[in-house]
Amino acid sequence: MAEEDPHRNGDPRRRRRPPDGFGARREHPAHLRDRVLRGVGARGLRRRPRRIIRKSRARRRRELAALFARRGDRAARDRPRVPATRVVREAGVSLASNELRRAPGIAIGLGILISATLAPLIFNTYWISFILTQVLLLGVAAASLIFLSAYGGMVSLAQVALYGTAGFVLGNVVTTGNSKGLNLGWHPWLGVVLGIAIATAVGLIFGALASRSAGIYFLMITLTFAVIANLFFGQVTTFSGFGGISGVRTPALIGEVDTHPNRLYYAALVVAVLVYAATKYLVRTPFGITLQGVRDDPVRMSSLGYNVPFHRMIAFGFAAFIASLGGVLFVWWNGHIDPASIDLSSTIDLLVICVIGGLYRLEGAWLGALVFVVINNYIRSVPGLGHIGLSEERFHTVIGVIFLVIILLSPGGLMGILGKGHELAGRLFPGRQVATSAAPAATSRRANGGPTP
């Protein structure tokens, strides 16, 4: 006699399948996983699957790599992949290391650094004191804004306020009674540390308040911060007042700027190099790569378990630290700081510097500062401008025209133009660009002078 099938309908011995959530051991439906990975369920799905939340570190890195892979050229990915070694072999060039891709940039950077080091032997005192030193300190302040915009997707108008906060704190604690402010008479280096620390702390507070907003809302919040800082130092006479703080002492290592201009120039050069190197290193760390993922797709990064507001806040704090270094250099260079130094006009000037140089390339900070300062100092020497009404007083008109031309021709600024020239040279001389042919496909942002992860 055949055994009865225990799985027939109505048999009490039939194994019942436990409902979902009560001992069921099966994977979540594919559509649910896709929704979570795409970030669709970041807000509607309160309790995400535990298996997705507890991803290993390697799995998170693979997801992040896949996120950046989407930014590549689709047409390039659809083509059959050719090994890089085959490309190099067919060109007759030996490629010892991937570092050869960076060789042209490293050579140009070393050339610029050597030229900047030898600048006091080449240029006169006026150029060192009023042109190159100002370019370096403005470039440091602009680098803080470019870092936020290029790698964090945040265009901040609060950098000048943070720049000025460090300067005002330094002026209050190192003056000795001959000026407005607290006149504490502390050691200049102690004032530097305190100014940088307070400006960085204020930047972290600003970042915590603004990190949950984006786009125009983030821009307006940071603009509000800038206006508040300007009004605070202008109306609170205990710390400054409209007259500002004068007679700020410099450390003995720097000396009097009028007597030893080269010392401040080299100090600004060292700070600029350290800021550039530290920023380039940071954006290649896991934090920097995560920050770029937050820039590209914050909803998906949040669904993968990353704390988006926290990463934005830390990035804002790092940018505040960079801006505070520029503020300290500015007070040493100028010997005076007042609320007019951080007003709305100065805020727009810093934004213009970044756009002229390239809002998505860190090198554009100093390139834009160089163009800005040179035009500001030599506009009166340009023949023919006086006949059309563009005198020295019309400096912002000239800068505005240059700003519009660059925006229309190259949204990536001057660095974007240089990048397009490099790509054109690669097409004209493909044999010399073999190292770059094996690199990943260029993104649209890189084509406009944007950063690469």
Residue 81 placed within a domain:
no
Task: State the DSSP code for 245.
Answer: E
Residue 300 placed within a domain:
yes
Residue 399 placed within a domain:
yes
The secondary structure of 267-332 as a DSSP string is HHHHHHHHHHHHHHHHTTSHHHHHHHHHHH-HHHHHHTT--HHHHHHHHHHHHHHHHHHHHHHHHH
* pLDDT tens string 236-257: 988 988 889 998 999 999 998 8
Residues in a beta bridge with 337: 245
For the chain, what is the domain count? 1
* pLDDT tens string 139-163: 999 999 999 999 999 999 999 999 9
pTM metric for this prediction: 0.74
* pLDDT tens string 132-141: 999 999 999 9
CATH number of the domain bearing residue 250: 1.10.3470
Residue 94 placed within a domain:
no
**pLDDT value at 25 more than 60:** no
Q: How far apart are CA 80 and CA 448, in angstroms?
A: 26
Residue 376 placed within a domain:
yes
pLDDT above 90 covers a percentage of the chain that reads 53
Q: What phi and psi, each to the nearest 5 degrees, are found at residue 339?
A: -60, -25
The one-letter code for the residue type at 414 is: L
Q: With bands split at pLDDT 50, 70 and 90, how would you rate the model's confidence at 393?
A: low
Domain with 294, as residue range(s), is 112-421
